[in-house]
Amino acid sequence: MRAIIVEDEIPAKEELEYLIETHSEIEIVGAFEDGLDVFKFLQEEEVDAIFLDINIPSLDGMLLAGNISKFAKKPYIIFTTAYKEHAAQAFELEAFDYILKPYDEKRIAAMLKKLETAFKKDHSQDGEKGDKEPAADQVTSRRINLRKNENIIVTDVNDIYYASASEKVTLVYTKTDEYMMPMSISEFHAKLPEDLFFKCHRSYTVNLTKIHEIVPWFNHTYILRLKDIKGEVPVSRSNVKEFRQIMQL
């Protein structure tokens, strides 16, 4: 796995290099202090990950990441910064992670393990599909970034049980945790694989593979009880027909 570091403070750059070399098998193939130099480098070279400081000369990290997000093959972006206020924007850019300075070695080690695992999983999926290179959105479609406090949690969509609308945000539930997405339920549902999730209600989307029990309810609707968790999900009357077809009821 090839990566570059973009950092204009030498002590921070050297510390990050040390942590990456100590806790991963990632190869650092370049280090840059200027955003424009990075952009020029990426016109000719491909890397798998970019450790990107936000406050860098010429082209700041957010603008650089916005340009990189348009690449056909998108590298994982790990933002590094001393400031928390950029977390929401990093989330919108679908960054792999968001690391605050000063660096915490345990936090960095956990992130690197997660990064290498995601890289291996993506590339093993590529191999199963044959020699044809899949589109970038196909590679990343089974992962989604969820937000927990100031952290961005890269999550396999199979781990999501359901999501529900809550005023202007969407709450997302896994087996063990709850996350918040700063978007509507419709926007969140559009990010999910159509073969796995069904928008069963204007305020809910559900992972079809997590349904344990289908309970008849009022006006020929249903309540869905899920595996492993206590949450119940309604199927609205307007969605009952499609739900029956999907579930072969």
> In this predicted model, what pLDDT tens digit does every residue of 230-247 receive, in sequence order?
889 999 999 999 999 988
Domain ranges of the chain: 2-128, 158-247
| Locus of tokens 């403070």 | 9
pLDDT digits (tens, 9 = 90+) for 147-187: 887 778 888 888 999 999 998 889 999 999 999 888 899 99
pLDDT digits (tens, 9 = 90+) for 178-197: 998 888 999 999 888 888 89
* Class in CATH terms, 2-128: alpha beta
How far CA 3 is from CA of 20, 37, 206, in Å, comes to: 10, 15, 36
Q: Which residue has the higher pLDDT, 133 or 238?
A: 238
pTM of the complete model beyond 0.85: no
CA distance 143 to 242: 26
What share of the chain has pLDDT > 70, as a percent? 92
Two domains, one topology: 2-128 and 158-247? no
User: Phi, psi (5° rounding) for residue 179?
Assistant: -130, 165
3 state DSSP class of 98: strand
How would residue 137 be classed by pLDDT, with cut points 50, 70 and 90? Answer: very low
Cβ atoms of 142 and 195 closer than 8 Å: no
SS3 content of the chain, % helix, strand, coil (to 5): 40, 30, 30
Q: Which residue has the higher pLDDT, 40 or 132?
A: 40
Can you name the CATH fold of 158-247?
OB fold (Dihydrolipoamide Acetyltransferase, E2P) (2.40.50)
Residue 49 C-alpha from the chain's centroid: 14
**Strand order from edge to edge, sheet including 27-32:** 27-32, 2-6, 49-53, 76-81, 97-100
Q: Which residue has the higher pLDDT, 43 or 48?
A: 48
Alpha helices in 71-219 (DSSP H): 87-92, 105-128, 136-140, 185-190
CA distance 159 to 105: 27
CA distance 209 to 135: 26
